[in-house]
Chains A and B, each alone.
Chain A
Amino acid sequence: QVQLVESGGGVVQPGRSLRLSCAASGFTFNSYAIHWVRQAPGKGLEWVAVISFDGNKQYYADSVKGRFTISRDNSKNTLYLQMNSLRGEDTALYYCARDHSSSLVVPAAMDYWGQGTLVTVAS
């Protein structure tokens, strides 16, 4: 069955960096685009970034553009999110979610989600 397992969350000071990982199994990883979505405490879902199946295209929410970098290693079936210059408002549960398609030509739904990893930015 499709599984997505996030890791790498923790408590980090403002301005510092953190890298999240998402290990995938149960499907052909290199055939699907993958998203990062976050949920701040008491808030709704917020899309963060997406990467195409081959890693050649990346798109970001304005709130993280220039600070976060999404990448993937298809040989390891793993997705990453490098988060730099972290701010208090980045505190959230971060989910990785599989896109229903491979390319990003037609935006599709997110059909499988991981359990999430918690990032807390505090001094």
Chain B
Amino acid sequence: QSVLTQPPSVSGAPGQRVTISCTGSTSNIGAGFHVHWYQHLPGTVPKLLISDNTNRPSGVPDRFSGSRSGTSASLAITGLQAEDEADYYCQSYDSSLSGYVFGTGTQVTVL
């Protein structure tokens, strides 16, 4: 049972904007630990999408953006494309658990 909660699924039409929330607590996101986001297509390797709350690694389209506020973080995908259909996970560190934690995961569907 993860300490980072995400909606199970979000969907949108091509070209639309969708957001995925990641709700934590004062022992992880609220404590100031960075939030990272990963894209995981079935049968492939998880890919780092956003690091340190807002940073896009080289090669990640600027359609993807991250933000953090208080005990939560969000991933936004603008100009949704069919290739964005995947599972998305947030990840941080939890001081109470003394370990790294992943969110529950969100499946993005392009209608």
Q: Which A residues lie at the B interface, using CB under 8 A?
A: 35, 37, 44-47, 50, 59-62, 95, 97, 100, 106-116
> Contact partner of B48 among A35, A44, A110, A115, CB < 8 A?
A110
> Contact partner of B99 among A47, A110, A111, A116, CB < 8 A?
A47
Binds A, one of B15-23, B30-38, B78-86: B30-38
Interface of B: prevailing SS = strand
Contact-residue bracket for chain B:
20 to 34
Docked-complex contact A109 and B45, CB < 8 angstroms? no
Docked-complex contact B102 and A59, CB < 8 angstroms? no
- Chain B 95-108: CB-based contact to A (< 8 A → 1; otherwise 0): 00111111111000
List, in ascending order, chain B residues with CB within 8 A of A44's CB.
2, 87, 89, 102-105
Q: Which 10 A-B pairs have the closest CB atoms?
A: A107-B93, A109-B36, A109-B51, A44-B105, A47-B100, A45-B102, A113-B45, A111-B48, A113-B46, A45-B89
Docked-complex contact A59 and B91, CB < 8 angstroms? no
A44–B34 alpha-carbon span in the complex (Å): 20
Least CB separation from B51: chain A residue = A109
Least CB separation from B28: chain A residue = A107
Docked-complex contact B98 and A109, CB < 8 angstroms? no
Smallest CB–CB gap between B70 and chain A, Å?
Answer: 19
A89–B45 alpha-carbon span in the complex (Å): 22
Docked-complex contact B36 and A110, CB < 8 angstroms? yes
Docked-complex contact A111 and B57, CB < 8 angstroms? yes
> Contact partner of B33 among A37, A50, A107, CB < 8 A?
A107
